[in-house]
Amino acid sequence: MNIFYYDIAVGLPIRQCFTYKSPVNIKKGKRVVVPFGKKTLVGVVVRKISQPNSFGKSGAIKEIISTDEEFVCFDKSIFNTILWASDYYHHPIGEVFFSFMPTILRKQSNKTITSLNEISDYEVNESNKSFKLTKEQELSLIKLKKIKKFKPSLIYGVTGSGKTEIYLQLAEKALKENKSILVLVPEINLTPQLVTRFKDRFKGDIGVYHSRLTPNQRFKVWLRSKFGEIKIVIGTRSSVLMPFENLGLIIVDEEHDQSYKQSEGFRFSGRDLAIKRAQLEDIPIFLGSATPSLQTLKLVQEKKYKKFDLLRRIDGKKPPKLIPLDITDSPLIGGMALQTMSIIGETIKKGEQVLIFINRRGFAPLYECDNCGWVASCNSCESNLVFHKSKNRLICHKCESVYRINKACPDCLSEELNVHGSGTERVEDILSTAYPKVPIIRVDYDSTRRKGSIEAIYEKVHNSEEAILVGTQMLSKGHDFPKVTLCIILNADGGLISPEINALEKISQQLIQVSGRAGRNNNLAKVIIQTRYPNDLNLKQIKTGDYQLVANQCLNLNKSLSLPPYSSICILRTTSSNPKSSLDFLNRASLTLDNRNGISLIGPLPSIPLKIKGNIRNHLVIKSPTKTYLNRVLKFLIKEFEIWPESKKVKWSFDIDPYDMS
């Protein structure tokens, strides 16, 4: 009898595979069940090996328990993308496989990979193509449709330039060639409107895939897509490795968006994984944005990506200019200057809508004792607590801990406790007192948590005449508000003067995205930025509304400072109950890398927040001139960690291409 040996990855945080044997010949990417210690676990076949190298003799090698599933879980290109990702992000291979396996398949159960036979048909609804394409759209489309193989293309389209119509027509072409389409969006809230556009156009089932669906719902979409029963899937980063019968095209909408980067656990970028997948499948990938990332723009400059410009809005209007409003000498009411209040008043009197952007949720960011200066802070992570009036609680925005309101100061027993600063709830509060008859609609994390709430909010906005929308960066994403003629940005100063790497890229993307939400249907929107720095050089550039100009400046600056995308960064993060262990470990890592050619280090530094659930967090920033060199250095470092006593006392992880540097 033949015996085959396999390396199997299990869903545990372990940087290795385990060898098992079986009399059956099993394909790579298949799901199997294996004995593991006293338990049995689901695993994935990573490779067949000729000779077992562990334990010396083959008798000690355990046998795979179950191999009877008919279909592979991971097709070749998805399988290879996962191997690449595990290597690039230095993340345990089993956990990477499991990140892209439907939850239901991660445990032994009676559910298996099998076709559901619920086939959807697609038919192009010609009457849905209500408007004529602009010249720009038409020219870009002709060229975009000619792309047959892997050649990433940036669709640089200002807000209102009709990017979605381009996506629809590219999808139509793929469908006609009997191919499937994957559309990635950065956030769940953006899925409903895009799904509606695709449904209206193609009259068939659109698979929707994101973390707020139940495991059963997700499994169903996954199966239908795998067996070619649905041909269009729209989802967030977790859907990047969705199996398809014949994938022909990937679209990454709002490619610059930070939500593509997973911020904990397996910290991958959905956009970058999509690009790798498209490369391995040799299919076209289209990245869309009005404010593309510096990384993408650099690759365009280097002619590795192609760029297609949609610089005119379909209504023929130019994108709005931003007007700074100097508030240096103005008293603020809930974050708003008197002048701001009066412009809001004038606008709603005309029956128009106002959009107010404030990048902070809750009522006020500080709850303070006016007598001794005590500030309410979180017991587990030490961040300042935010007062939420609607819940009458203090909430930690870093770790979500919730606290009752103190009646008296815990330090001096004074009852002079007060709130300071302002967030969405406070702005809403002040405006509803000032304009009791006008609908004030708040859009933030708290008001959109329930299922269907975002759809209800958008419906209310579209059905109202005069109305005031108050929201966080959620408002700056994707959705358009044609009746808004005034857009006010309240607290941009933090972003303008931030010392953080790429702060200018982030703030300009945010401001230009917010201002693009407003004013369609022949309305010209006015965009006002309250600021204490009206003469700030960066603001002067941003206010032109010309993102390309700002982006070029950012690129030049980063090139001169060798910052990403002209170098590669990894953050080595630690958590430990003991502050000394954490620093000892990072200090040793720092010493080890100190004399490495080309590597520069920042830190060890305390992370923000410093404490989570009682554990101290620190980090070390590692900068390398290239990605390949960084990869090599990190591999060396992992080998070192294995023999250091310091690494036994901490939990460490790598964050490659970090978005958040704190």
**Minimum separation from the CB atom of position 187 to Zn ion (A):** 23
Token pair in block for residue 422? 């302002």
103 or 414, CB closer to Zn ion?
A: 414
CA distance 394 to 419: 11
276: helix, strand or coil: helix
CA distance 489 to 549: 21
Nearest distance, CB of residue 511 and Zn ion, angstroms: 29
Residue (279 or 384) nearer to Zn ion, CB: 384
Residue among 401 and 491 whose Cβ is closer to Zn ion: 401
Give CA separation, 473 vs 132, 441, 541, 603, in Å.
32, 15, 21, 30
| Minimum distance from residue 388 beta carbon to Zn ion (Å) | 14
* Comparison of 293 and 383: residue with beta carbon closer to Zn ion: 383
**Complex with Zn ion: residue 411 or 459, whichever CB lies closer:** 411
Reading the block at residue 66, the tokens are 């179950």
Q: What is the DSSP string of 458-483?
A: HHHHHH-SSEEEEESGGGGSS--BTT
Q: How far is the CB of 406 from Zn ion (least distance, A)?
A: 10
Taking the complex as a whole, how short is the minimal distance between the CB of residue 407 and Zn ion, in angstroms? 12
Q: In terms of CB distance, is 304 or 613 closer to Zn ion?
A: 613
Q: State the nearest-atom distance from the C-beta of 503 to Zn ion, in Å.
A: 24
Shortest distance, position 658 Cβ to Zn ion, whole Å:
21
User: How many degrees, rounded to 5, is the angle at CA 285 between CA 279 and CA 289?
Assistant: 135
Minimum distance from CB of 414 to Zn ion (Å)?
5
- In the three-class reduction of DSSP (H, G, I as helix; E, B as strand; rest coil), residue 622 is classed as strand
The tokens describing 176, both together, are: 């006609």
Which of 323/413 has CB closer to Zn ion? Answer: 413
Q: How far is the CB of 373 from Zn ion (least distance, A)?
A: 7
CB 654 within 8 A of CB 570: yes
My answer on whether omega of the bond before 565 falls inside 30° of 0, hence cis, is yes
Asked if 193 and 479 count as a contact pair (C-beta separation under 8 A), the reply is: yes
Task: Give the span between the Cα atoms of 97 and 46, in whole angstroms.
Answer: 10
Residues 575, 311: Cα–Cα separation, whole Å: 46
Binding site for Zn ion (CB under 5 A): 369, 371-372, 374, 378, 381, 383, 396, 398-399, 401, 409, 411-412, 414
| Burial (0-12, 13-18, 19+ Cβ within 10 Å), 601 | middle
**Alpha helix (H) ranges present in 228-319?**
270-281, 294-301
Side-chain half-sphere of 320: how many Cα atoms within 13 Å? 27
Smallest distance from the beta carbon of 381 to Zn ion, in angstroms?
Answer: 3
Looking only at the bridges linking them, the beta strands covering 526-531 and 484-489 are parallel
Measure the CA–CA gap between 553 and 300, rounded to whole angstroms. 15
Q: Using CA atoms, how far apart are residues 399 and 55, in angstroms rounded to an integer?
A: 44
CB nearer to Zn ion: give 294 or 419: 419
At 304, phi and psi to the nearest 5? Answer: -85, -30
Of the pair 206, 409, the CB lying nearest Zn ion is at 409
> Of the two residues 416 and 594, which places its CB atom closer to Zn ion in the complex?
416
Could you count the other beta carbons within 10 Å of the beta carbon of residue 24?
Answer: 13
- The residue (of 323 and 372) whose beta carbon lies closer to Zn ion is 372
Q: How far is the CB of 367 from Zn ion (least distance, A)?
A: 12
The SS3 of residue 449 is coil
Toward Zn ion, which CB reaches closer, 204 or 606?
A: 606
**8 Å CB contact between 3 and 23:** yes
Rounded least distance, CB 614 to Zn ion, Å: 11
